[in-house]
């Protein structure tokens, strides 16, 4: 039985974890036992599904935590040749775990909260907020912002950063009527041992940091949207890294105020504020006629 973590989704009051659960056995070179292998591994898939589906019910022993698995998991057969020939089934399924987005119950010093703003002022304000969260979080050891090539090559210190690392990549933004939609991909990663012996710990610890971050973000005034995609991150750079990449979408108010634009008006020597005052004066004169 081999489990491959997939995309997770932060939703309202719950987190959906996706897994590929692979049940496999060795197939003889002449395929003489193929039917037995496929039959046995499908039976085991059913066993795994039964345990997951019934584990939280009191009448069935209540022997595990409360989970809610996908009602219709897809079970795909395969035969593959590696060092040996393997056959079996891959059960693609989702597991829903209740989660309380409590911004007060996270390991962040000074009761950190993202700063309030009524409308979008600058991208730097948001990046600085991310950096402050990373600095005050007890498990995060370094922060970065920029291109993916700098993930393990800190542009300031010129040396590999400490881990767990909180790294922000900016994505496309969209201007809508009255608001600005901002998109980020945030990588939360840690170093993997060469033999991958700490892979489960790395994925678990970085997922907890991801949950802390989204709890603070969603419950702030920054209008982060639900259904944030969280994908497993396993990459080799100078070091072998593992963790999660969060796709975050935020909406900020943008009121198209031409009075604050750093440009001159079409009236020589007058600012936009002076132009508006003149139009207001004209308006008052017309009302008096």
Question: 3-class DSSP state for residue 51?
Answer: helix
Which overall architecture, per CATH, does domain 109-253 show?
2-Layer Sandwich (3.30)
Q: Can you give the C-alpha Rg of the chain in angstroms?
A: 26
pLDDT in tens, 116-129: 766 777 888 889 99
Q: Average pLDDT, whole number, for the chain?
A: 86
Q: Is 81 exposed, middle or buried (0-12, 13-18, 19+ CB in 10 A)?
A: exposed
| Residue that the structure tokens 């139009």 belong to | 279
pLDDT in tens, 163-221: 999 999 998 888 887 788 889 999 999 999 989 899 999 999 999 999 999 988 888 87
CA 150, CA 14: separation in Å to the nearest integer?
33
What are 20's two structure tokens? 């590929």
Q: What are the sequence ranges of the domains in the chain? A: 2-98, 109-253, 258-287
Number of Cβ within a 10 Å radius of residue 219: 15
Residue range 82-89: mean pLDDT, rounded: 91
State residue 66's pLDDT score.
Answer: 64
* 187 within 8 A of 261, measured Cβ to Cβ: no
Name the DSSP letter for residue 103.
T
């Amino acid at each position: 039985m081999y489990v491959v973590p997939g995309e997770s989704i932060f939703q309202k009051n719950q987190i959906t974890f996706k897994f590929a659960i692979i049940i496999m056995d060795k197939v003889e070179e002449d395929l003489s036992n193929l039917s037995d292998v496929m039959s046995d591994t499908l039976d085991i898939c059913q066993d795994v599904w039964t345990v997951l589906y019934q584990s939280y019910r009191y009448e069935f022993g209540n022997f595990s935590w409360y989970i809610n698995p996908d009602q219709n998991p897809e079970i795909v057969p395969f035969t593959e040749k590696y060092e040996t020939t393997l056959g079996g089934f891959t059960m693609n399924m989702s597991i829903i775990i209740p989660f309380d987005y409590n911004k007060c119950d996270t390991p962040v010093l000074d009761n950190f909260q993202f700063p309030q703003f009524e409308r979008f002022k600058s991208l730097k304000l948001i990046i600085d907020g991310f950096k402050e969260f990373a600095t005050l979080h007890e498990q995060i050891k370094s922060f970065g912002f920029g291109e993916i090539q700098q993930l393990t090559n800190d542009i300031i210190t010129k040396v590999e950063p400490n881990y767990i690392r909180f790294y922000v990549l900016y994505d496309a933004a969209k201007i809508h009527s009255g608001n600005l939609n901002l998109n980020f991909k945030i990588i939360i990663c840690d170093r993997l041992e060469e033999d991958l012996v700490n892979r489960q710990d790395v994925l678990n610890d970085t997922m907890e940091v991801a949950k802390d971050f989204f709890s603070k973000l969603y419950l702030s005034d920054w209008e982060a949207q639900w259904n944030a995609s969280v994908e497993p991150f396993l990459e080799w750079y100078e070091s072998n890294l593992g963790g999660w990449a969060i796709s975050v979408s935020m909406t900020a108010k943008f009121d198209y105020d031409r009075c604050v634009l750093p440009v001159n008006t079409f009236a020589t020597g007058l600012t936009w504020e002076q132009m508006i005052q003149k139009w207001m004066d004209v308006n008052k004169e017309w009302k008096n006629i």
